Amino acid sequence: MTSIHAPASDLDIAHAARIRPIEEIAASAGIPADALELYGRYKAKIDTSRLPPVPGKAPGKVILVSAMSPTPAGEGKSTCTVGLADSLARAGRNVMVALREPSLGPVMGMKGGATGGGYSQVLPMEDINLHFTGDFHAITSANNTLMALVDNSIYQGNPLNIDPRRITFKRVLDVNDRALREVVIGLGGATQGVPRQDGFDITVASEVMAVFCLATDLADLRRRLALMTVGYTYDRKPVTVADLGVEGALTLLLKDAVKPNLVQTIAGTPALVHGGPFANIAHGCNSVIATQTARSIADLVVTEAGFGADLGAEKFMNIKARSADVAPDAVVLVATIRALKMHGGVAKEDLRRPDVGALERGAVNLRRHVANVKKFGITPVVAVNKFATDTDEELAWLLRWCAGEGVSAAVADIWGEGGGGPGGDELAATVLAALDEPRSFRHLYPLELSVEEKVRTIAQEIYGACDVAFSTPALRRLAEIQANGWDDLPVCMAKTQYSFSDDATRLGAPEGFTLHVRDLIPKTGAGFIVALTGAVMTMPGLPREPGALRMDVDDDGGAVGLF
């Protein structure tokens, strides 16, 4: 099998792959059968309370896969995460993957699967991309039960004095549904509720999702749910889930969902796929529980964070690694010849043409990401995800450039080969070498800085902004954050993933720009303050030709046309 292969869809490849009963995968990872709660033949939840401690085993090392600034060309970060783990397994290492669960809404739109691609996928991909084990449905239920309870409290006499104009929590659906972005609810008269302006987000944008992914266990989940702010009273005091007294009910709705989901890669490497918060309005990493469970089982855990390193990796370091002891031992930056050329000014339709000049111009994007990761005390490894159109000259240039920058790099041919072939061996060896290098992880900022200072630190240190401009509403919100005692929370930036700046068209490594903070949203259960820059979409829409039009089942009930 080579990378010059007949085109096959990811679904075709997944269907042709040999999938093993999940009990076998569990056994190979040392997970006892009585800790498994099977969901069909190829998926299982792990009851972590039944995992026996392994005497003398140190927690597995964390390898965080991040990327240069993404482009419409697609960089294959999940593919690299899976392929790297398979290659580490090929090298004889005891390794697990930890990935986010995909959102169902975009699947019906036009997005590719979020389960890797080619021969570097997690299986069963159609289940994982559809309902999987129901975690997102449980989160949707918990979120919407909460909102029904909020509006019911207002309807039943409003004992908490909630101001219907200041409810900040929204209902959610795991559907791309533009028509629900802005709605008016509670119409129909006195017996139908209290009218108010509202809107729906997609489930992955729910704070319940962020809380779910940052909680260290069921008790911490309950504690965080209680801390969520749903809105404000008429006299502007925050109203929390604890004030409503329903954190127990929400925890009950999530008690099974919090158990991490075990699946397998095409090469048979065990993978935990669990949780999936948006990478803009939230922190974009799989659950802490999955990462920690994987660390308790395996020696190496390969995981990823959403978008480029300016967003996903920064949040992994400053948010997730503050919730739990999951600081990375190595960071991989996925780069592609195609994406570098786009950052060097080449249009998507011209990417097949060799162009070392554009590569050189675009490398400034990768250079800034490398420098950024070093600010957390870790020197990253560059993984060049090989595409069939890459020329030897371009690949050789990029490896030379990396060497010149003092950063290890390896070409990974893992789309076409997966863990079954040697295409990722060099990357695996490079990452293993990096794990032996000295490092001294540090957060980018101390929590004692004010929220305003934290935003400025990220904008200047990571994005390269020369200044930050806060809008009038954002300034008012900063004052409220101080007054409510939330100034010591970390910041979760919501920014376009395509540029270091807040302007998606400014590729490469823009300088001298001002970052505009439009608004700040306290997420007191997740434990961070979202800083909104530019337009942030929290409820996607469907395209003119939705993917749903191609989908079907075959005569055996199998998925057709999923990707």
Query: Which are the catalytic amino acids?
Result: 77, 79, 100, 111, 279, 307, 387, 415
Residue 505's Cβ-count burial label (10 Å; 0-12, 13-18, 19+) is exposed
CB 285 within 8 A of CB 306: yes
Residue 551 tokens read as: 């989908």
Q: Which of 176, 261, 430, 496 binds a copy of itself (CB under 8 A)?
A: 176
Q: Is 124 known to sit in a ligand binding site?
A: no
- Check binding of 184 to a copy of itself (CB under 8 A): yes
Q: Which is nearer to a copy of itself, 282 or 559 (CB)?
A: 559
- Check binding of 156 to a copy of itself (CB under 8 A): yes
What per-residue string of b and e applies to 516-528 under the rule 16 or more CB within 10 Å gives b?
Answer: bbbbbbbbbbbbb
CB 502 within 8 A of CB 533: yes
Question: Considering only residues 49-68, where is the footprint of a copy of itself by CB under 8 A?
Answer: 49
In the complex, least distance from residue 41 CB atom to a copy of itself, rounded to whole angstroms: 7
Q: Which of 186, 354, 377, 534 binds a copy of itself (CB under 8 A)?
A: 186
Rounded to whole angstroms, the maximal C-alpha distance in the chain is 72
Q: Which of 93, 222, 386, 456 binds a copy of itself (CB under 8 A)?
A: 222
Q: Which is nearer to a copy of itself, 152 or 514 (CB)?
A: 152
In the complex, least distance from residue 362 CB atom to a copy of itself, rounded to whole angstroms: 31
In the complex, least distance from residue 292 CB atom to a copy of itself, rounded to whole angstroms: 17
Q: Which is nearer to a copy of itself, 41 or 236 (CB)?
A: 41
Q: Is 371 known to sit in a ligand binding site?
A: no
In the complex, least distance from residue 557 CB atom to a copy of itself, rounded to whole angstroms: 5
Q: Which is nearer to a copy of itself, 139 or 305 (CB)?
A: 139
Q: Which is nearer to a copy of itself, 62 or 289 (CB)?
A: 289
What 3-state class would DSSP assign to 390? coil
CB 73 within 8 A of CB 408: no
In the complex, least distance from residue 563 CB atom to a copy of itself, rounded to whole angstroms: 12
Question: Considering only residues 485-544, where is the footprint of a copy of itself by CB under 8 A?
Answer: 541-542, 544
Residue 304 tokens read as: 């990823």
Q: Which is nearer to a copy of itself, 96 or 244 (CB)?
A: 244
CB 518 within 8 A of CB 557: no
- Check binding of 163 to a copy of itself (CB under 8 A): no
User: What DSSP string runs through 247-269?
Assistant: HHHHHHHHTTTTSPEEEEETT--
Give the binding range for a copy of itself (CB under 8 A) out of 61-69, 75-83, 204-212, 547-555.
547-555
| Binding residues for a copy of itself, total number by CB under 8 A | 75
Q: Is 480 known to sit in a ligand binding site?
A: no
Residue 186: C-alpha distances to residues 11, 144, 193, 407, 417 (Å) = 43, 15, 5, 58, 55
Question: Considering only residues 86-145, where is the footprint of a copy of itself by CB under 8 A?
Answer: 104, 108, 127, 130-131, 133-134, 137-138, 140-141, 144-145
- Check binding of 38 to a copy of itself (CB under 8 A): yes
- Check binding of 252 to a copy of itself (CB under 8 A): yes
CB 321 within 8 A of CB 327: yes
In the complex, least distance from residue 525 CB atom to a copy of itself, rounded to whole angstroms: 17
In the complex, least distance from residue 104 CB atom to a copy of itself, rounded to whole angstroms: 6
- Check binding of 559 to a copy of itself (CB under 8 A): yes
CA neighbor of 102 nearest in space, from 82, 119, 84, 127: 127
In the complex, least distance from residue 201 CB atom to a copy of itself, rounded to whole angstroms: 14
What is the C-alpha to C-alpha distance for residues 29 and 35, in angstroms, rounded to an integer? Answer: 12
SS (H, E, C) 190-244: CCCCCCEEECEEEHHHCHHHHHHHHCCCHHHHHHHHHHCEEEEECCCCEEEHHHH
What is the C-alpha to C-alpha distance for residues 74 and 120, in angstroms, rounded to an integer? Answer: 15
Q: Is 72 known to sit in a ligand binding site?
A: yes
Q: Which is nearer to a copy of itself, 168 or 457 (CB)?
A: 168
Give the binding range for a copy of itself (CB under 8 A) out of 149-157, 260-268, 297-305, 341-349.
149-157
What is the C-alpha to C-alpha distance for residues 132 and 114, in angstroms, rounded to an integer? Answer: 13
What is the C-alpha to C-alpha distance for residues 549 and 225, in angstroms, rounded to an integer? Answer: 38
Q: Which is nearer to a copy of itself, 159 or 446 (CB)?
A: 159
CB 119 within 8 A of CB 186: no
What is the C-alpha to C-alpha distance for residues 148 and 253, in angstroms, rounded to an integer? Answer: 14
The single-letter DSSP state of residue 305 is B
Q: Which of 161, 192, 389, 514 binds a copy of itself (CB under 8 A)?
A: 192
Backbone phi and psi for residue 277, each to the nearest 5 degrees, phi listed first: -70, 150
Give the binding range for a copy of itself (CB under 8 A) out of 85-93, 167-175, 306-314, 416-424.
167-175
Q: Which of 12, 24, 182, 437 binds a copy of itself (CB under 8 A)?
A: 182
Residue stretches of the annotated binding site: 71-78
Residue stretches of the annotated binding site for ATP: 71-78
